[in-house]
Amino acid sequence: MIKIFSLKDSNNAPSAADSSDKVQRTSPAILRMQKDMKELDLPPTCSISHPNPDDLLNFAVFISPDDGYYRGGKFQFTIKIPNDYPHEPPKVLCTQKIYHPNVDLAGKVCLNILREEWKPVLSVNNVVCGLLYLFLEPNPEDPLNKEAAECLLANRQTFASNVKRAMRGAYFSNVQYDAVMLT
């Protein structure tokens, strides 16, 4: 009987010298990322940068909304793809301190597809478009920054003013925000 999942005898195992000649095995996460990058179809307001071209699992995303409260800003996120991707969602962090109902001051992002609604059929393209959507339509009903969410629900004009001030690097509510306005 053939045991498909059993390990080979140590006699048949390749030596270290033999294995160095063989191509290193590519992980499923890397294979999926190669596919995701080939199929990437981002709007002109979004871009991706790989600081290390040899590392497909860690990269930066830049979003520059052309509409809404955050128009005129440029926002950067780091994305780390876990080894069990696409079965687990990417880990996303905003690198700047911004005033947003769905991004806390530590950079954590509240986006449903990064949590309970993640499915392996989703891709990096879906994640980036989801981040862009958060800037076009902030969701005060599912906040990480409760103060920003309450302000958005209570008075949209005050919220808009706070966003513009924060994007210029203002200090308010005991927080120094990062200047993210494009020049």
Share of the chain above pLDDT 70, in %: 86
The answer, yes or no, to whether residue 20 has pLDDT greater than 50, is: no
Give the SS3 label for residue 3: coil
Calpha distance 102→183 (Å, rounded): 25
pTM to 2 decimal places:
0.84
Q: Which fold has domain 25-176?
A: Ubiquitin Conjugating Enzyme (3.10.110)
Give the pLDDT score at 182. 85
129 is catalytic: no
Question: Does the pLDDT of residue 5 top 60, yes or no?
Answer: no
> Are 74 and 180 a contacting pair, CB within 8 Å?
yes
Domain range list for the chain: 25-176
Backbone angles phi, psi at 46, to 5 degrees: -130, 145
The band of 25, judged by pLDDT with boundaries at 50, 70 and 90, is low
Exactly one of 46, 94, 110, 151 is catalytic; name it.
Answer: 110
DSSP string for 109-125 = B--GGGTTT--TT--HH
H or E segment and range at residue 46: strand 46-49
Average pLDDT over residues 100-114: 97
Cα-Cα-Cα-Cα dihedral sign, residues 177, 178, 182, 183:
positive
The Cα 98–Cα 108 span in angstroms is 11
